[in-house]
Amino acid sequence: MRADTLLEIFKEEKWKRSHYTYNTIPQANKEPAKDSVNNAKMFLKHIKNLIEN
């Protein structure tokens, strides 16, 4: 995965964190939270791969 793709995932998650933390009711956070967990897993998998190789 390209670095710019990983950076875009990071930027999107940063925006979601501030938006959903401060602008949305907690019940509406469930689906974006699931997406964030999946993005974090993918992001970490690729970073780990870069570090190890």
Please tell me the distance from the alpha carbon of residue 44 to that of residue 46, in angstroms, as a whole number.
5
Residue 9, CA distances (Å) to 14, 27, 51 in order: 9, 23, 18
Mean pLDDT, the chain, whole residue set: 82
The answer to whether the beta carbons of residues 32 and 12 sit under 8 Å apart is no
pTM here?
A: 0.52
Write out pLDDT tens, residues 6-17: 888 888 888 887
Under-50 pLDDT residues of the chain: none
Please tell me the distance from the alpha carbon of residue 46 to that of residue 8, in angstroms, as a whole number.
14
Taking residue 7's Cβ as centre, other Cβ atoms within 10 Å add up to 11
